[in-house]
Structure formats: C-alpha cells, structure tokens
C-alpha cells in the first residue's frame, strides 16, 4: 500500500504543477485585462533575451567552477588523509562534486532554452553561440566527471565502471557498499527536489508568458 502511494506521488506532483500553471495563466490574464501588465512582461522578456547569452555564459562558468572547486577541496583532504594513514576525510566533497557536475549541464540547457522562443534564426550567430556553449560545457563537465571517477578509484579500488559506457551507473552501484549506496540515494533525492523546484518555477513562468 505504501509503495503504491510512493509511486503516485511524482504523478500527483506533476498534475499539481500543471494545474498551478493553468491557474497562474488565468490569474495573470485577468490581472492583465485590468492593469495591462502584458506590456511590462514583454519588456521584461525582451530585456532577459538581450542578456541571455551573457546569462548563459555565467551559468556555464558557475556550473563548471563549483563542482571543480569541491573536487579540488575534497581531493586535497583525501590525499592528506592517505599520507597520514588516517581515516579518509573529504570523500563527501568528492562525491558532491560528481553530483554537481552531473547537474551542471542540466542548468546550462535550462538557461539556453529560455531564449529559444526569441531566437531570430535568420541571424544564426546567437543560436550557434549558445549551441557551442552547451557542447563545450558538456565536454568539460564530462571530462571533469571522468577525472573524479578515476580519482575515486585510486583510494577505493573496488569501484568499477567506465563513465563513457551505458552500463556505468549499473556497474558503479554494484561496486558500492551500503554506506555509499545510501549516499547515492540521498544525492539522488536532493537532485529530484532541485529538479522539482525548477519544474515548478518553469511552469509558473510559462503560465505567465503564455497568457494573452
């Protein structure tokens, strides 16, 4: 019974978000009919598009820098622990950097998608530039993830898996102990909550921008 309820929760959340988006659109449409705020929204949307490429660059840089920062911090702590024959410290920062590197590309794509409806495809430079930023970000974050995975294997040789194969997640989880699996589940839940909040924000924004 509990399992069925747990399975229904994501579907219920999505339906609630869809309903919230519809209600938001209706609500703002009614306000607009009285206050004429649609022009203000268009002004904001056009202003956002003007700085879209800059915003995408900033998002890409932050999405790369933050996991790299945690990786270096965790790597130094782990190496110091190994030199002193102490219990391994800093491992959680390394694991966190792996999760953040995975989420980084997600945020880059989300920001890139914000400007998609405003692209002037007769001027191919901006769409092409955004695509280049996405591809370069994906390459850098992919290489960073591979570097993190290979470093984890140096102090935890039982870990197996090649990041660039489809079986990586399966092999990585199989080679994890119960504590590591628990950490992965916690990280996955945190990622789910972040995605859920982004989805909620996106639905509300789309509801506002789609009103007539």
pLDDT for res 88: 64
Does 77 share its domain with 132? Answer: yes
pLDDT in tens, 63-119: 999 999 999 998 888 888 877 766 666 678 888 888 888 888 888 888 887 776 666
| Whether 14 contacts 194, CB under 8 Å | no
* Residue 189, domain extent: 19-50+177-212
pTM over 0.85: no
Does 72 share its domain with 45? Answer: no
Total domains, the chain = 2
Counting as low any pLDDT under 50, the low residues of the chain are 2, 40, 43-44, 212
Does 58 share its domain with 94? Answer: yes
Six token digits for residue 92: 């959680």
Does 75 share its domain with 145? Answer: yes
Residues with Cβ within 8 Å of residue 38, at least 6 apart in sequence:
32, 211
Does 119 share its domain with 206? Answer: no
| Whether 97 contacts 71, CB under 8 Å | yes
pLDDT for res 69: 93
């Amino acid at each position: 019974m509990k399992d069925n309820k747990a399975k229904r929760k994501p579907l219920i959340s999505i339906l609630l978000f869809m309903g919230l988006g519809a209600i938001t659109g209706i609500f703002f449409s009614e306000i607009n009919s009285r206050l004429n705020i649609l022009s203000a929204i268009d002004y904001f949307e056009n202003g956002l598009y003007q700085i879209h490429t800059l915003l995408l660059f900033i998002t890409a840089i932050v999405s790369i820098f933050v996991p790299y920062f945690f990786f270096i911090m965790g790597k130094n702590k782990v190496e110091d622990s190994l030199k002193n024959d102490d219990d391994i410290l800093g491992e959680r920062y390394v694991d966190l950097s792996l999760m953040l590197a995975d989420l980084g590309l997600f945020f880059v794509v989300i920001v890139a998608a914000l400007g998609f409806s405003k692209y002037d495809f007769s001027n191919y430079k901006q769409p092409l530039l955004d695509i280049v930023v996405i591809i370069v970000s994906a390459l850098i974050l992919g290489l960073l993830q591979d570097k993190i995975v290979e470093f984890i294997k140096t102090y935890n040789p039982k870990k197996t898996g090649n990041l660039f194969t489809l079986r990586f997640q399966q092999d990585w989880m199989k080679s994890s102990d119960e504590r590591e699996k628990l950490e992965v589940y916690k990280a996955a839940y945190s990622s789910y909550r972040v995605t859920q909040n982004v989805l909620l924000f996106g639905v509300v924004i789309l509801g506002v921008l789609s009103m007539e």
